[in-house]
């Protein structure tokens, strides 16, 4: 049995492309789209997969990362899916890829204008855990009524002395829509302002949104409590990088641990080129 | 020296091989055939067709076999297949009044034209394990009386109440219903959309929602006006021919509940209806669906919203789909190292601050 290029039929891809174009036209706005059942479960990247399917051309070079790594099982599964259904070239090198699908990370290597970064999004609505009803949150976005979010951030500071959101840190896009950048660590937030096109796909929740190149993206904060993209205060134990996001790895039964780059391509490239100290 | 964990690809391949081996089970036991599943596990097949939204007993049986009997996994397989199918057109609405019933019961009238037909039901069986079924080669007894009939169409029970004007008439509306599989779910949802979501909704979820209304969370006093199960023809207008032709026959379960309604500001006292329609013999689901449908109608009937879960269309419709639910639930098995790492750092920092704050004054007191 053979499937259409990149699995989805052309009508479906056209429907998704329309949603993407609308998203690009209104940065940060969540566009409803008729998400399809994919042959992988909801919650496992079906939104990203549909967006990638709608963007891929036969000449593209595709990269998939999950938690920054190309070799995590679900990244492998998605990469294989497109190798099989689209026959596109795949790579683990950030610089070689034209389309990168990601879950929970933005690559450390700066992206360029000829690249598309596709995010897998579990809950696209930044206000969801403040207001569970979609009918209400859509109204709040429409009226630019974001007081609830500011109150939440303020209460964090009152209780904990800082904003207690470490990932999926909310941003405001072009001074208009509050957007969930997907569960990337807040360390990655500054990288949301990028020359690359960034597309966000939430399959189960049936939403697509976008950040066109060079869109202004502001991480919410207060003047006296400015946004702080923190990370573990260590260098990478493998490549010595001081500027990359680190995973903590437990290395022995005594709970000994080490810190290594979560972006495996970044780490490997640094070691190859001898940048590792 | 730690080496970054590699081997996702090999692990996946090995897991798939192992899975295939487990699915087959002991090789000295004969392999299940699709026709065996279709014929002997037909209620499982029905559920997969209903929640998979695809009427194909053979494919549903295949899905059950491939899923090792995991119903939601089988439903998922069918859904993923269904979404790739081209659409030739839309059939005419089925006429359940013309159903050739295998089963037809009413809890509201002792007898009625056409009579009560019990049909092949578990009702009134004693739930005692039948060890005779464990013996290989057991042949089922021949059906002595009844059995599949080609009886004349039976009138809907609710028609009798309709004639007296006691039952709220359903408005005639030929607007094509919205299609959940081709449009994103949007609120407010109209009744056809709600019924569509309930028909594909998880049987357990819809059952629990219905049960909650019976226990007082938006009680709606339902009687099973009629439950009928049988075969109906599916026909489609063929433009080249200029008339409709029958494409085939499907089995459906239909339930109409008759609900007491003492009237509201906008509606006089009358009986109202809850409606359930499901592929195959799926009567638990059909009845559940009718109860939930009726609970969701509070707004249109001008009833009070008592804040019950079954009255909340956004809650019910957003959580009834088991393929969505299981996917999102199970995705938390995927690695979350990155989010967890950022939480770890946050908690350590907050703890350090809290410790400082609490040890400070204590030392001062000592």
A121-138: average pLDDT: 95
The torsion angles phi and psi of A92, rounded to 5 degrees, stand at -105, -5
Binary contact (A43, B331; C-beta < 8 A): yes
Is B362's pLDDT higher than 60?
no
Binary contact (B2, A260; C-beta < 8 A): yes
Beta-ladder partners of B151:
none
Q: Which residues of B touch A36 (CB under 8 A)?
A: 83
Write the pLDDT tens digit of every residue in B55-89: 999 999 999 999 999 999 999 999 999 988 888 88
**Residue B109 near residue B157, CB atoms below 8 Å:** yes
Tokens of B84: 């790739």
Is A265's pLDDT higher than 50?
yes
Q: Is A28 a catalytic residue?
A: yes
Write the pLDDT tens digit of every residue in A146-164: 999 999 999 999 988 889 8
Query: Which residues lie closer than 8 Å to B140 by C-beta, 6 or more apart?
Result: none
- B311 to chain A nearest CA, in Å? 14
Q: Which residues of A touch B8 (CB under 8 A)?
A: 71-73, 75-76
Nearest chain B Cα to A65, which residue?
Answer: B335
Binary contact (B341, A232; C-beta < 8 A): yes
Question: What integer pLDDT is reported at residue B150 of this predicted model?
Answer: 59
**Residue B227 near residue B281, CB atoms below 8 Å:** no
What is the rounded CA–CA span in Å between residue A100 and residue A83?
A: 14
The torsion angles phi and psi of A208, rounded to 5 degrees, stand at -130, 140
Q: Which of residues 251-290 of B touch A (CB under 8 A)?
A: none
Name the residue with higher pLDDT: A144 or B340: A144
Q: Is A261 a catalytic residue?
A: yes
The confidence band for A109, taking pLDDT boundaries of 50, 70 and 90, is: very high
Q: Is B345 within 8 Å of chain A by CB?
A: yes
- A208 to chain B nearest CA, in Å? 11
Question: What integer pLDDT is reported at residue B148 of this predicted model?
Answer: 58
Q: Find the angle CA(A22)-CA(A26)-CA(A27) to the nearest 5 degrees.
A: 115
Interface ipTM: 0.85
Q: b/e for A121-153, b at 16 or more Cβ within 10 A?
A: bbbbbbbeeeeebbeebbebbeeeebeebeebb
Q: Is A267 a catalytic residue?
A: yes
Nearest chain B Cα to A67, which residue?
Answer: B338
Question: What integer pLDDT is reported at residue B146 of this predicted model?
Answer: 66
- Bond from prior residue into B326 cis (ω within 30 degrees of 0): no
Sheet of strand A171-173: strand arrangement: A177-179, A171-173, A217-219
Strand B272-279 versus strand B243-259 pairing type: antiparallel
Binary contact (A122, B328; C-beta < 8 A): yes
Q: Which residues of A touch B6 (CB under 8 A)?
A: 71
What is the rounded CA–CA span in Å between residue A121 and residue A208?
A: 9
Nearest neighbour of B327 by CB, restricted to A135, A168, A204: A204
A43-68: average pLDDT: 96
What is the rounded CA–CA span in Å between residue A153 and residue A147?
A: 10
Q: Which residue has 């239909």 as its token pair? A: B254
| CA A144 from centre of chain | 24
Write the pLDDT tens digit of every residue in A168-202: 999 999 999 999 999 999 999 999 999 999 999 99
Q: b/e for B267-276, b at 16 or more Cβ within 10 A?
A: eeebbbbbbb
Q: Which residues of A touch B339 (CB under 8 A)?
A: 104, 166-168, 183, 185
What is the rounded CA–CA span in Å between residue B23 and residue B359?
A: 58
Sheet of strand B222-238: strand arrangement: B100-105, B222-238, B243-259, B272-279
Question: What integer pLDDT is reported at residue B361 of this predicted model?
Answer: 53
Write the pLDDT tens digit of every residue in B93-147: 999 999 999 999 999 888 888 889 999 999 999 999 998 888 876 666 677 666 6
- B187 to chain A nearest CA, in Å? 7
What is the rounded CA–CA span in Å between residue A125 and residue B213?
A: 31
Q: Average the pLDDT over each of A246-250, B121-125, B146-150 and give the range with the smallest value.
A: B146-150
What is the rounded CA–CA span in Å between residue B47 and residue B75?
A: 8
Name the residue with higher pLDDT: A71 or A56: A56
The torsion angles phi and psi of A186, rounded to 5 degrees, stand at -65, -15
CB atoms within 10 A of CB B139: 5
Q: Which of residues 69-98 of B touch A (CB under 8 A)?
A: 76, 79-80, 82-84, 86
Is A49's pLDDT higher than 90?
yes
Nearest chain A Cα to B314, which residue?
Answer: A133
Nearest neighbour of A39 by CB, restricted to B80, B326, B337: B80
Query: Which residues lie closer than 8 Å to A61 by C-beta, 6 or more apart?
Result: A88, A89, A90, A91, A96, A97, A98, A99
| CA B333 from centre of chain | 26
Task: Kindly list the distances between the CA atom of residue A90 and the CA atoms of A51, A78, A80, A104, B37, in Å, as whole numbers in the listed order.
Answer: 17, 11, 9, 20, 41
The confidence band for B9, taking pLDDT boundaries of 50, 70 and 90, is: confident
Q: Which residues of B touch A168 (CB under 8 A)?
A: 339
What is the rounded CA–CA span in Å between residue B54 and residue B181?
A: 12
Query: Over chain B, what is the mean pLDDT?
Result: 89
Is B38's pLDDT higher than 70?
yes
Query: Which residues lie closer than 8 Å to B63 by C-beta, 6 or more apart?
Result: B48, B52, B73, B74, B75, B77, B78
**Residue B295 near residue B220, CB atoms below 8 Å:** yes
- B343 to chain A nearest CA, in Å? 6
Helix axes B203-214, B283-296, angle to 10 degrees: 60
Structure pTM?
Answer: 0.89
- Burial class of residue A246 in the structure, from the number of CB atoms within 10 Å of its CB (0-12 exposed, 13-18 middle, 19+ buried): buried
A107-125: average pLDDT: 97
SS (H, E, C) A11-36: HHHHHHHHHHHHHHHCCCCCEECCCC
The confidence band for A90, taking pLDDT boundaries of 50, 70 and 90, is: very high
Q: Is A239 a catalytic residue?
A: yes
Strand B243-259 versus strand A197-202 pairing type: unpaired
Q: b/e for B57-67, b at 16 or more Cβ within 10 A?
A: bebbbbbbbeb
The confidence band for A84, taking pLDDT boundaries of 50, 70 and 90, is: very high
Write the pLDDT tens digit of every residue in B263-317: 777 778 888 999 999 999 999 999 999 999 999 999 988 888 999 999 999 999 9
What is the rounded CA–CA span in Å between residue A61 and residue A98?
A: 5
């Amino acid at each position: 049995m053979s499937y259409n290029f990149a699995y989805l039929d052309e009508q479906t891809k056209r429907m998704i492309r329309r949603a993407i174009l609308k998203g690009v036209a209104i940065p940060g706005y969540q566009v409803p789209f008729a998400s399809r059942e994919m042959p992988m479960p909801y919650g496992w990247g079906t939104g990203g997969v549909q967006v990638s399917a709608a963007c891929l051309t036969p000449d593209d070079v595709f990269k998939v990362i999950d938690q920054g790594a190309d070799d995590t099982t679900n990244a492998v599964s998605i990469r294989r899916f497109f190798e099989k259904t689209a026959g596109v070239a795949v790579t683990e090198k950030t610089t070689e890829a034209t389309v990168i699908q990601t879950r929970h990370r933005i690559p450390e290597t700066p992206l360029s204008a000829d690249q598309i970064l596709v995010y897998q999004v579990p809950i696209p609505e930044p206000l969801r855990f403040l207001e569970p009803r979609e009918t209400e949150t859509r109204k709040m976005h429409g009226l630019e009524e974001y007081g609830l979010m500011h109150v939440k951030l303020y209460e964090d500071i009152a209780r904990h002395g800082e904003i207690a959101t470490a990932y999926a840190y909310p941003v405001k896009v072009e001074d208009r829509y509050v957007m969930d950048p997907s569960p990337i660590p807040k360390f990655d937030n500054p990288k949301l302002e990028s020359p690359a096109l960034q597309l966000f796909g939430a399959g189960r929740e049936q939403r697509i949104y976008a950040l066109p190149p060079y869109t202004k993206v502001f991480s919410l904060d207060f003047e006296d409590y400015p946004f702080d993209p923190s990370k573990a205060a260590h260098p990478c134990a493998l490549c010595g990088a001081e500027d990359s996001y680190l995973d903590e790895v437990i290395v022995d039964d005594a709970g000994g641990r080490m810190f290594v780059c979560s972006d495996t391509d970044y780490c490997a490239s640094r070691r190859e080129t001898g940048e590792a100290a | 020296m730690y080496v970054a964990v590699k081997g996702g690809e090999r692990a996946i391949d090995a897991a798939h091989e192992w899975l295939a081996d487990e699915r087959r089970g002991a090789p000295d036991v004969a392999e299940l055939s699709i026709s065996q599943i279709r014929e002997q596990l037909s209620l499982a097949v029905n559920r997969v067709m209903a929640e998979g939204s695809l009427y194909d007993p053979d494919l549903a049986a295949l899905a059950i076999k491939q899923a090792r009997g995991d119903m939601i996994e089988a439903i998922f397989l069918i859904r993923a297949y269904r979404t790739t199918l081209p659409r030739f057109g839309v059939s005419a609405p089925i006429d359940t009044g013309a159903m050739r019933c295998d089963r037809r019961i009413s809890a509201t009238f002792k007898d009625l034209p056409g009579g009560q037909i019990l049909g092949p039901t578990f009702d009134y069986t004693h739930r005692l394990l039948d060890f005779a079924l464990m013996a290989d080669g057991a042949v089922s007894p021949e059906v002595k009386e009844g059995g599949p009939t080609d009886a004349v169409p039976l009138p809907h029970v609710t028609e009798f109440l309709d004639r007296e004007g006691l039952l709220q008439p359903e408005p005639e509306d030929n607007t094509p219903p919205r299609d959940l599989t081709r449009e994103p779910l949007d609120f407010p949802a109209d009744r056809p959309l709600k019924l569509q979501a309930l028909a594909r909704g998880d049987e357990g979820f819809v059952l629990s929602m219905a049960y909650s209304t019976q226990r007082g969370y938006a009680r709606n006093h339902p009687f099973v006006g009629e439950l009928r199960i049988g075969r109906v023809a599916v026909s489609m207008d063929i433009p080249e021919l200029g008339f409709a032709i029958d494409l085939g026959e499907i089995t459906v379960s239909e339930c109409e509940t008759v609900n007491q309604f003492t009237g509201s500001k906008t509606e006089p006292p009358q009986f109202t209806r809850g409606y359930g329609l499901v592929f195959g013999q799926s009567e638990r689901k059909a009845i559940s669906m009718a109860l939930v449908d009726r609970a969701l109608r509070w707004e249109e009937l001008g009833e009070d919203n008592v804040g019950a879960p079954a009255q909340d269309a956004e809650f019910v419709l957003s959580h009834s789909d088991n393929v969505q639910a299981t996917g999102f639930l199970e995705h938390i098995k995927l690695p979350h190292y990155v989010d967890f790492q950022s939480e770890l750092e946050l908690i350590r920092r907050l703890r350090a601050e809290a410790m400082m704050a609490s040890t400070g004054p204590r030392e001062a007191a000592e």
